[in-house]
Amino acid sequence: MDYLEYFKLSEQPFSNVVDSRFYYNSPQQSQAISKLKYAIDTKKGLAVVIGNIGAGKTTLARRLLEELDEEHYEAALLVIIHSSVSSEWLFKKFAMQLGVRHVSDHKLELLGEIYKRLNEINEEGKKAVVLMDEVQMLNSREIMEEFRGLLNMESSEGKMVNFVFFGLPELDQVMALDEPLKQRVASRITLNAYSEENTRDYIYHRLQVAGAGEGIFTDAAIHQIYKYSSGIPRLINTICDNALLEAFLFKKQGVDEEVIRSVAVDLGLDTSGSMA
């Protein structure tokens, strides 16, 4: 028996793997999606989402991508996984993601192909959207200038391509490497940590998706989870997952504040080491 069977759960409710079924549409997330879709639909060109580690930027990016249906949008998500990215690599990625058929190795030819493809997308009545996650890793003035160049491609209705940048707070400094690009930001959204009320709703939502009711975590336990996680979704998941395992191992009926304090010590979130 594992904790899933013990608590009558159909699956792990607090995995940090992005899964749209567990998406929690908090007021903050709902407002962010609405603002981003407005920026895209009105072809503003550039929107930015800033958030600390674990705040839910990648989850929001995946959710936004799901809402951009293929009938009205030519949309793609690009995740930057290292800092040694060249502008040539980016252009090729953009071209492939947007459906360019013949991707040239020559930059000027590639730009022409991208422009031609963007025209096709616009003529089809669609909007071209490129979502980019972890953009703070592109710490290069040259690349920021290249983005500005792409945003200079316009039709009578607005920008021919819409970028949504997702990144850590350092993204502001990276974009400041090219001040004209920073001035082109049409919408800037900051993802803040959850309130205690949102933390409770988030936990209940994920438990419900996994087939459980609200009774596993006591109110006192949720208060402690909020205290140790500071309302950061990734930390909430980690604490709750460990707490379910701890409660199972000690054959508790549910997760109480004592379990949360023990888990917090184990995870290094409570350096006092006190269970009092």
Q: Which domains does the chain have, with CATH numbers?
A: 3-15+194-266 (1.10.8), 27-191 (3.40.50.300)
pLDDT at 201: 96
User: End-to-end CA distance of the chain, in Å?
Assistant: 31
Q: Which of the two residues, 168 and 101, has the higher pLDDT score?
A: 168
* Cα 171 to Cα 160: distance, rounded to the nearest angstrom: 23
Average pLDDT of 246-275?
88
At 139-160, the pLDDT tens digits run 899 999 999 999 999 888 889 9
Strands 154-155 and 158-159 turn out to be: antiparallel
Has this prediction a pTM greater than 0.85?
A: yes
Q: Residue 74 is which amino acid?
A: E
CA-derived radius of gyration, the chain: 22
The least confident of 144-148, 198-202, 242-246, 263-267 is 144-148
What is residue 84's three-state secondary structure?
coil
Alpha helices, DSSP H only, in 167-232? 171-175, 179-182, 196-209, 219-229
At 43-90, the pLDDT tens digits run 999 999 999 999 999 999 999 999 999 999 999 999 998 888 888 888
pLDDT surpasses 90 at 226? yes
Band (pLDDT 50/70/90 cuts) for residue 214 is: low
* Cα 20 to Cα 6: distance, rounded to the nearest angstrom: 25
Q: How many CB atoms lie within 10 A of CB 198?
A: 20
Instruction: Find how far residue 16's CA is from the centre of its chain.
Output: 12
Distances (CA, A) of 225 to 45, 106, 195, 199: 39, 53, 11, 8
